[in-house]
């Protein structure tokens, strides 16, 4: 009887360890999408912008030694800049429609590959914990190497959560956060419980163990909602009404924390496809936000 008890306990522990590690690996080392995969859903015009408009390769070294990659698209005569930050398993090429839109609005563009994505070095994604410092370094790089009168951050999904966490650490003029999560622990509980029908509260401690021992952070250290309290520039939240991967209410609640913030809900859009679902509404929301910010600065 005692032997069976020990075998059962060992089997249970091994199963818990294996499931927790598998979830951790899916969260931090997911299969990266190629540029061809990321560009495929976009219009020929957006694909053409990404491939045919002249650009420059740029790079910097992160504070912990990784080489990080970016692309610069210039807008002749402009000193306004946007830094673009993609989501998990994507790369700078995912931002092609956003790049084309902001270029039309008169901005210079810096599209970066987050650590462990695209052409950047790195091992694990940390949902903004490490990435926020990389974003600060990119803003510093811009101010040292370029003429900058205005700089904003634009992020999608994990990139949106990352720019919100970077906001209190750097000097920028505005942020645009598309479908960001508010709290990593809350997000993972939702995805495990609702999307995968797994006991999230039971698995989170095991996942957290691997996040700490392998990737160097814990879930409670990744809270974009908490960072918002220290951001004193306007934030535009954009979220699809049909997003079940990162629930829409997360952006709604974060937007309500500050009266300077604005929110645009794209009806029928799912996770990360807001600009595909309704590009006119997306561009109108961004243009109105930028115009109101400019008017408030001039007053």
* Span 145-165, average pLDDT: 98
Would you state the pLDDT for residue 2? Answer: 64
CA 292, CA 298: separation in Å to the nearest integer?
Answer: 10
- Pairing, β 150-156 against β 80-85: parallel
**In terms of DSSP bridges, do strands 67-73 and 108-112 run parallel, antiparallel, or are they unpaired?**
antiparallel
pLDDT of 55 strictly over 60: yes
Quote the mean pLDDT of the chain: 94
Q: What is the mean pLDDT of residues 12-22?
A: 84
The per-residue pLDDT for 8 is 57
Residue 7 has pLDDT above 80, yes or no: no
Q: How confident is the model at residue 14 (pLDDT cuts 50, 70, 90)?
A: confident
Q: What is the Cα–Cα distance from 57 to 74, expressed in whole angstroms? A: 12
Domain with CATH 3.40.50.1820 in the chain: 42-183+222-298
Mean pLDDT on 25-36: 93
Q: How confident is the model at residue 298 (pLDDT cuts 50, 70, 90)?
A: confident
pLDDT recorded at residue 9: 61
> Hey, how many other C-beta atoms are within 10 angstroms of the C-beta on 214?
15
Beta bridge partners of 67: 61
% of residues, the chain, pLDDT over 70: 95
Q: Given pLDDT bands bounded at 50, 70 and 90, which one contains residue 200?
A: confident
58-95 pLDDT, tens digit per residue, is 999 999 999 999 999 999 999 999 999 999 999 999 99
10 has pLDDT over 70: no
- pTM for the model stands at 0.95
Q: In what order do the strands lie in the sheet with 56-61?
A: 56-61, 67-73, 108-112, 80-85, 150-156, 174-178, 235-240, 262-266
Which superfamily does 42-183+222-298 belong to? Alpha/Beta hydrolase fold, catalytic domain (3.40.50.1820)
């Amino acid at each position: 009887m005692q032997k069976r008890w020990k075998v059962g306990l060992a089997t249970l522990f091994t199963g818990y360890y294996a499931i927790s590690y598998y979830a951790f690996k899916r969260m931090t080392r997911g299969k990266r999408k190629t540029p061809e995969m990321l560009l495929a859903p976009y219009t020929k015009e957006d694909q053409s912008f990404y491939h045919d408009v002249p650009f420059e390769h740029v790079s910097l070294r992160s504070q912990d030694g990784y080489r990080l990659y970016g692309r610069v698209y210039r807008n002749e005569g402009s000193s306004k800049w946007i830094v673009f930050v993609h989501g998990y398993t994507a790369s700078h090429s995912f931002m092609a429609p956003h790049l084309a839109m902001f270029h039309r609005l008169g901005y210079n563009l810096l599209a970066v590959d987050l650590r462990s994505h695209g052409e950047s070095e790195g091992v694990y994604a940390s949902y903004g914990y490490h990435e926020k410092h990389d974003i600060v370094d990119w803003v510093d790089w811009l101010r040292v190497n370029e003429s900058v009168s205005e700089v904003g951050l634009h992020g999608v999904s994990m990139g949106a959560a990352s720019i919100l966490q970077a906001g209190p650490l750097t000097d920028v003029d505005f942020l645009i956060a598309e479908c960001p999560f508010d709290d990593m622990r809350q997000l993972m509980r939702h995805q495990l419980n609702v999307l995968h029908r797994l006991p999230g509260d039971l698995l989170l401690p095991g996942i957290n163990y691997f996040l700490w021992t392998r990737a160097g952070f814990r879930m409670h250290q990744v809270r974009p909602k908490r960072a918002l309290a220290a951001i004193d520039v306007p934030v535009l939240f954009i979220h699809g009404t049909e997003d079940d991967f990162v629930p829409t209410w997360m952006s709604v609640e974060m937007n309500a924390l500050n009266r300077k913030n604005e929110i645009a809900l794209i009806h029928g859009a799912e996770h990360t496809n807001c600009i595909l679902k309704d590009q006119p509404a997306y561009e109108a929301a961004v243009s109105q936000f930028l115009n109101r910010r400019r008017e408030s600065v001039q007053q």
